[in-house]
Structures are given as C-alpha cells and as structure tokens.
Amino acid sequence: MNRTVLIVDEQTQVASSMAAAVVRGGYQARTAHTFHEAMAFLQREEPAAIVVSVELGAFNGLHLLIRAGALYPSAKVVVVGPASRGLEEEARALGAGAYLARPCAPETAMSMVHALLFSLAPFIIPPDAQGASLR
C-alpha cells in the first residue's frame, strides 16, 4: 500500500508539525509550501493522501484539490482552513474526504487521513457534534 502523505501548507511550522504526526502515524511525509511545489511533487509521485491548507498564496487549496483529483482520483484529500460551512461544502463537492477547521491539531489531521485511507470516515463524529453525548 502507498503510504505517502503530501502536506501542503504555506506556514513552514504547520507543515513540519503535520509531517511529524504523519511519520508517527506510520506514513511517509512529504511537504510543499506553495501550489507550484505541490504540483511539481504530484507530477513525479502519487500520494495516498493529501492534507492541504485553503490558504496557499495566489492559489488556494481548492485549486490543488481539483488538480490532484484529476491526476489521482483515488487519493484521499483533507482540506484544512477557517471554520466556514461554505468552504467545507465547496471542498466536499470538489472531492475532499474531509474538511478540518483551524486551529487543527496535527494528530487530528493524521487521524482523519488514516480514517479516509481505511474507509473509516463514516464512523468519525463530525466536528460540530464533538463533545455531545452519544445516545
């Protein structure tokens, strides 16, 4: 199984923290800090999953989601961005498996990647229901 996760975030520290969580989760991490760096990676290699920030300078993570989906339809994508129902709906409509609102712990993103890769996503409690009791 392909175990490469591409992390795309213009904030170097955020990308590094996510990469460390990915490695702790047993995956190989690759990082990119711009849309163009991410596209260069995608031209060379197919990742199993992508964690991409909405904020990417001149482009945004949704642009990358569209391009990555055209190249690798089976890649699982987690989009990370501001808490916005509209952005979340747009990301999901474009093929994202999940949308996580910032601030987002690197371990949360890693857990979502793992869930998507192993088709466990339907069993994850949505963020707006976290903390609610299960009946």
Write out pLDDT tens, residues 41-84: 999 999 999 999 999 988 999 999 999 999 999 999 999 999 99
For residue 30, is pLDDT > 50?
yes
What are residue 124's phi and psi, to 5 degrees?
A: -90, 135
Distance of CA 69 to the CA centre of its chain: 13
Six-digit token string for 102 = 């910032």
Rg (CA), the chain: 14
The residue whose two tokens read 């916005």 is 84
Point out which residues pair with 4 in neighbouring strands. Answer: 28
Distance of CA 84 to the CA centre of its chain: 16
Whether residue 103 has a cis bond before it, omega within 30° of 0 = yes
CA dist., res. 74 & res. 60, Å (int): 21
Structural domains in the chain plus CATH codes: 1-12+31-97 (3.40.50.2300)
Closest CA to 111 of 64, 32, 51, 52: 51
* End-to-end C-alpha distance for the chain, whole angstroms: 37
Q: What pLDDT, on the 0 to 100 scale, is given for residue 9? A: 96
CA angle 46, 122, 9 (to 5 degrees): 40
Tens of pLDDT, residues 86-126: 999 999 999 999 999 998 999 999 999 999 998 755 444 44
